[in-house]
Each structure stands twice: as C-alpha cells, then as structure tokens.
Structure 1
C-alpha cells in the first residue's frame, strides 16, 4: 500500500510536471499565433492584414486541445490572400483623365508683333479653333486667325512712316504636352498671308506729300502656346513665336538709300482667352 502511494505520488509529480510544460508550450504557441494572425478589425477593413501587432497573453494561458494545432494555424496564416495592391500603393494620377472628344473654341488675343515695321506693332486678333482632345501627347488641333497690327509713327530719314499689317494665319499643332490635369504646352507650325501697308509723310519744309505703298506679306513660322483651363468652358493662353518672312521689301526715302528693310527673322508675343464647346 505504501508502495502504491509512493508510486502515485511520483506519477502525480510527473503528470504535474508534464501539465506545466504543456501549459508553457501552449502559451508560447498562442503568443506566436496572436502576433502573426490578423485581428478581426483588420479583416473587416478590406482584408489589409497587419502583421506583427503585439497581443497580450494572460499569465497561465494554455493552448486548448480543441483548437487547431499551432502548425495548422500558421499554415492558414501564410495561405491568406494578399491585400489588393491599391490598398498598399497610393494613387499616382494627379487628376481624372479626360474623355476623348472633339472640341471647338473661339476667342481673342492681344499681342505685340516685331519685324513688319521699324518699331513693335500692337495687334488684336480673333481666332477659331478645332481640337481633338485625347488627354495624351497626340492631341491635334487646327486654328485660323485674323489679325490687324498698327505700328507707331517712326522717323525714316526726314519723313515719318507708319505701317499696318492685316493678315490671316493658320496654325497646325499635332501634339499637346500635358503639364497637369488642365494645362499644357502646344507647339505649332504656322503660316501667315496678308498685306503690309506703309504710309510716309514727309516734312512740309521739304515740299513733299504723303506717299503710300501696299505690298504682300508672306511668312512661315514656329510658335509655342501655353494654355490652362480653369473651367471646362474657359481657356486662357500665352504664346510666342518666330516668323521668317519670304517677302522682304526695302523702304527708302531717296533712291538707293535704304532706310528700313523687312528682317529675315521676326517675332511676336501675346496672350488671350477663348470659350470652348461643347
């Protein structure tokens, strides 16, 4: 009987030791699983799992035999579906892309022209524009202009002269370089055709009268136009370019004495606004 009791004590002590070791292993497995497994709140917001969040494990906690084995739980954690890429990466676009459509615009520009007269000539221009907007680099446009420039009176020898340039212009613009959602830079090739009218009024002391000449004006050119659309219907622009006159007349007061010649390269700069539709 004493032997039986001693045996039971030894077995009870062993059982007690095994039970305590099991509890320790169960607590370690539960802590590992709690650290790796996503919380219920993480599952609720679109499946974006948060790994490595520390979880408190109460003292004496042990793994319930009814729960799945630690290796099975870990296998389930590694086999979870990955969160969508859009959850992890921020959006890279600066604005919603605009739909492809054909647009028209009419507007007005004020500019300063150089080259058709000895001094800079203020000009006013009206334009009509057709533009196939794609939201990409290839966004062709076609624009027709009508403008009138009038120079200030400038001295030529003993005379005073004034130049007036009336012209039409065609801009062909195959691309549009977008800067952000509502702005861009449009490079264009252009061609002007018109008439240049010159008036010279001589000094009355010289006994001379008013003399007028009208000559053709023809020039190709290149330009760049910066545009921004603060509203879908409003377009604001700034542009500048260079012209290369093909008709280069020489104006003089006395024969064979040149006083002003149309230069090989001229230029212009201006700004304006237009109304776009539809």
Structure 2
C-alpha cells in the first residue's frame, strides 16, 4: 500500500490553512496604526517593551511598525529627580506637529503607565484608562514560515521550520522622509506709528516650516504680500490718505511646541511702495515713494488640529527709508524712526 498520497494531502491542507491565516492577519494589521518606540529611562525603570505592552493593554488598534514602514514615533524619556520620577512623551505623527506630555510620580512604572495611556488615547479615542486585561500578543507579527507538519517520530523537523527568536526590543526609530510642511493663510493687520494714523489691511502668506525633530530647533520661513490704508485725516493745511503695499519675508529659527500651541521669535524684512494723496486742499497732489523696513516680531500659534493654525503676531517696525509728506513745498509729516504692527490670521496645511 502506498502511504505517500495521504501524507501529501495532509501537507497541502496544512499549507492552505497557513496561507488563509496569514491573509486574515494581514487584514487585521492594516486596521492598526503602526508605531515605533524609543525609550531613554532611568536605572531601575522598566524597558521600552513594558511601555509598549501598557499601550497595547489599553487599545487593540496599535502594532509595531515593520522595517521600512511609515509610522507614528513615540519617544519616551524618564528621569529620576530626587524621590520623584519625571517622564516626557514626544509623539511624532507621520503627518503633523509634534505633541508632548509630561507626567511626574513617585514610581517609575506608574509614570510610564500614565504616559502609555496618553499614547493610546492619541491612537484610539476609546482607549481604556486602566489596563483591564493582559495584552493579547497572538496578533503580533507571526513567523513567516508555516508551522511544521506532523512527521514520523524519528525524523527531526527541518531547520527552516524552527520558529525565529521573538524580538524583545522595539526597532530603532527612523526619521520620516518628509522634512518640511507647508501652509497658506491670510492675516488681518494693523500698522501703528508709521503713518499719521493707524493703517488697516491684510496679508496673504505662504509658510514653509521644518518638521520638529528636537524640542527647540525648527526653522520656518514665510513670504507674504500685503497692503494697508488709512482713512482721510487732517495733515498740515489740508487732508490726506495713504496706502502701503509691501512684500515681506520672515525667518523664524526656533520654535517652542506644546500639545495645542507653539511660539516662535522671528525677524522680517519688507519692501514696497507708499502712496500718498492730498485732498481738500488748494493744490491737491498725489505721489509715491519707496518703502523699506525691518524688525523683530513674535508669533503665537494655536493648533486646533494638525492641518489648521490660528496665529497671533506682534512686532516693531524700523523704516530704513523715511518718506516726507509735503504741502506747498513745506514738510507736513515724516515717517518716524520706528512703529509697530499686530496681526491675527488663520492658515491651512496643504502638504
């Protein structure tokens, strides 16, 4: 009797079952967010594996990223501070601003567990506050080789069927390929002290900012086109109104970012044309002159989401060209040495 046929059928059935299980597992993995974890913890604290298991115990919608897969980065730092432990979690999403959260406590594992809940909540809004059950590791990465088929007792399993050693530490965090984000937006502005009365206007801007890889250095650059105008007002022996049209370049070398806001110091250089029109005078005249100014400014941004920025800024303006306004060959007004500007606006991320 030939016993090879039944054995071949058993092997074929086992292979089909393994392929089906891999397909099911692949579909489950697609529904989970991949993460990479980096941990720098004080001596005596649990390792990064403990932190990941605490995240997994609160949500099932997470898994470790594969080698070249784009993934959310969770960077954990826990330091001993006397009798306390202070932890910080920086979350680097694949597309968006870095967010941070800090927690302090008397026990290191409790600090790590609290930050694990923060990480889980960022992935799954329905994450559990406490670890109610041990994490199920059965849906983690499975060995690529199928399980061994039952053989005769005297035959050892082939070397290719031996299960690979389980990875005990998370993979090394790799930088994301996208280094810059871009925004477009519009501001409402007020220019104070440069013209005889405040000038009201707006600016249309384009903003390119580096993805924040550290807690401070993250340069940003902005180009904008704007204008401002005054109402009719008395000047010298008559009335006048002014209009200012400028192109401005801003540079901001550093940025402080928290969960829902960021702040950055900047410097700007702008140039354009100042238009003046005399009215209600014996000999009204219109003229224009070049305008050039620079100065520092501070920008505070509120981040309701990763794609929206609401900005508030203010700064000093130092004109480099000080135009004169004359009536009947007599100087009625000269642009002062310095002034100020304030603005508020909104921007949307498009890449």
TM range (shorter): 0.5 to 0.7
Question: Cα RMSD over matched residues?
Answer: 2.6
Matched with 1:124 is 202
Task: Say whether the 8 Å CA contact 1:196–1:215 is kept in structure 2.
Answer: yes
Paired residue total: 190
Q: TM-score, length-normalised on structure 2?
A: 0.50
1:115 Cα deviation (Å)?
3.5
- Alignment partner of 2:319: what SS? coil
Task: Say whether the 8 Å CA contact 2:223–2:250 is kept in structure 1.
Answer: yes
Q: Runs of 4 or more off by more than 6 Å in structure 1?
A: 92-95, 97-100
1:133 Cα deviation (Å)?
2.2
Matched with 1:137 is 216
Deviations 1:220-275 (A, max 9, x none): 111000001101111100000101001112212233x4321101011111100000
Residues 88 and 193 of structure 1, relative CA distance in 2, 3 Å threshold: closer
Q: Relative contact order (alpha carbons < 8 A, sep ≥ 6): 1 or 2 greater? A: 1
**Do structure 1's residue 242 and structure 2's residue 311 form an aligned pair?**
no
- Alignment partner of 1:251: what SS? strand
**Do structure 1's residue 261 and structure 2's residue 340 form an aligned pair?**
no
Matched with 1:20 is none
Task: Say whether the 8 Å CA contact 2:313–2:344 is kept in structure 1.
Answer: yes
- Alignment partner of 2:110: what SS? helix
Matched with 2:292 is 218
Deviations 1:153-175 (A, max 9, x none): 11112211111000000000100
* Aligned-partner Cα distance in 2 for 1:274–1:152: 28
Between Structure 1 and Structure 2, whose CA radius of gyration is higher? Answer: 1
- Alignment partner of 2:218: what SS? coil
- Alignment partner of 2:231: what SS? coil
- Alignment partner of 1:123: what SS? strand
Q: Which runs of 5+ in 1 are unaligned?
A: 1-45, 47-83
* Aligned-partner Cα distance in 2 for 1:162–1:149: 11
Once the two structures are overlaid, the 10-residue window that deviates more, 90-99 or 120-129, is: 90-99
* Aligned-partner Cα distance in 2 for 1:95–1:124: 39
Task: Say whether the 8 Å CA contact 1:127–1:144 is kept in structure 2.
Answer: yes
Say which of 256, 264, 272 aligns to 1:177: 256
Matched with 2:346 is 273
Matched with 2:229 is 150
